[in-house]
Structure 1
């Protein structure tokens, strides 16, 4: 809460401000600008300190009640949640109940979250993540010209099927897990390609290059993997999809397309559940590494 209050008392460690019948401490470290005097009226932000006492600061928050903004994650408390920097000395808690159930989907220090403020039952300020309804209210519909463009977006919601991002141009973009090159977490900013523009102006995206480019990149990855293992790997078209995703971070379909490309180019051969580099291809790769 931002209020204007008079200085009622000055002490060696700060000032007391008068609010009705209460006196609120403005610590010397929280006072900015010229020295204050009794009777001065100053604008302050009220918050609860670490001992749950109402305190004041002349520093202003980045996000205020009723507003939304991006705040940086500065600390993690596994049993409580994550702390965000809101422009004042006391960091803002985003409670564990408002975070994903899986810990590897939690944000990390340096990530950014789109939040507003709320009060708990004791009147203390907490962070509140943006909801889907609120995103819809200020998101900008995308046009057809966005198709195949590369954009940056920050994850604001993670679900089992994938992740929702809010882009720099304020578009909503969804990335399916099959289109990720790594598992995404809340607050992570990534670069992705717009793969489809929906009728409602929302976007579908992919962290992968277009298929014709991706085939080549996936094939190179498999070649290098086999070269590093002496020229062979125990994976073929029949390998289960979950093993392929774990080993190569690609879908079964992408894996099969990459193998098909290498077979067509006669760089590999398959036998009894193994894929082998042909001798001349292995020699070429090893020679390139040494040069």
Structure 2
């Protein structure tokens, strides 16, 4: 049996002690799960799903806590402290995650958040992080089709829009002209594939084309106005972010629905919002 450092492993309880239980780590020997993480009514022979990392003495140790990132994944984490060797990130465990200076694109500052990749350092066998994200992104050609739904992590702002990490593996881009909600580094959300470019990078969009038929959203908007006393403080001049926060649609979709209801004489558009038309 082999264990995976920096990931969850299902291991058997082989010994109980005053300060926790020991788990069968195969060739790595017995691994301590401290008392604070031991489930109630835990017995020898039970199998536990635990995360494995190294303690301050560089010994294998287990926890039932879920870290903010696992080996092979990307995440946006906050710097807890810095010393002469590098920065240390809060990843939700007792021991912070180390980022050597050589793996920082710029000097990391305490209290700031950075997108990083977690991996095993081949020389020291320690779990470390790198802010040089590009070199850990896959060079494979993604097999996605247009309109496929994907999970993304917003990475950084560029002149074209926002770079994103797609499904913890690929590089993607959301274009400014197609963004209708507030975005910032570290946000995790769903997006849709617009196209996979020849260089393997993915053009993304936040809303699936044709997902919202105007007639359908017109009905939804009319019902919302009725449910809110016959008027709302939004109209076609409102900020796109406010519209998205309320209805999860783009401003373009909202404006078309408003126009549809207005033509049907179901609503009146006012300076500070929309109200139902009187019969």
Q: Shorter-chain TM-score: what band?
A: 0.5 to 0.7
Distance 1:239 1:92, change over 3 A: closer
Q: Which has the larger radius of gyration?
A: 1
Quote the offset at 1:164 in angstroms.
0.4
How far apart in 2 are the matches of 1:257 and 1:204? 25
Q: Distance in 1 between matches of 2:112 and 2:207?
A: 27
Structure ranking higher in helix proportion: 1
Report if aligned partners of 1:83, 1:94 keep a CA contact under 8 Å in 2: no
Secondary structure at the aligned position of 1:97 is classed as coil
Q: 1:94 touches 1:127 (CA, 8 Å); kept in 2?
A: yes
Q: Which residue of 2 aligns with 1:116?
A: 119
1:93 maps onto 2:92 in alignment: no
- Decide whether aligned partners of structure 1 residues 115 and 215 sit closer, same or farther in structure 2, where only a CA change above 3 A counts: farther
- Normalised to the residue count of structure 1, the TM-score between the two structures is 0.52
What's the offset of the Cα at 1:93? 2.0
Q: Sort the Cα spacing of 1:72 and 1:206 in 2 relative to 1 into closer, same or farther, 3 A.
A: closer
| Contact map agreement 1:194 1:205 (CA 8 A) in 2 | yes
Deviations 1:62-91 (A, max 9, x none): xxxxx9613899xx8884542267xxxx65
User: Gaps (5+ residues) in structure 1?
Assistant: 3-12, 14-26, 35-40, 60-66, 108-112, 281-291
Aligned residues: 218
After superposition, the C-alpha distances for 1:245-288 in whole angstroms (9 at most, x for unaligned) are: 555555443332231232234432224543222356xxxxxxxx
CA offset at residue 215 of structure 1?
Answer: 3.6
CA contact 1:219–1:258 (8 Å) conserved in 2: yes
Aligned equivalent of 1:64: none
Aligned Cα root-mean-square deviation (Å): 5.0
Structure 2 unaligned residues grouped into runs of 5+: 6-16, 32-51, 63-69, 82-88, 100-106
Check the 8 A contact 2:192/2:206 in 1, yes or no.
yes
TM-score computed with the length of structure 2 as normaliser: 0.54
- Other-structure match for 1:155: 153
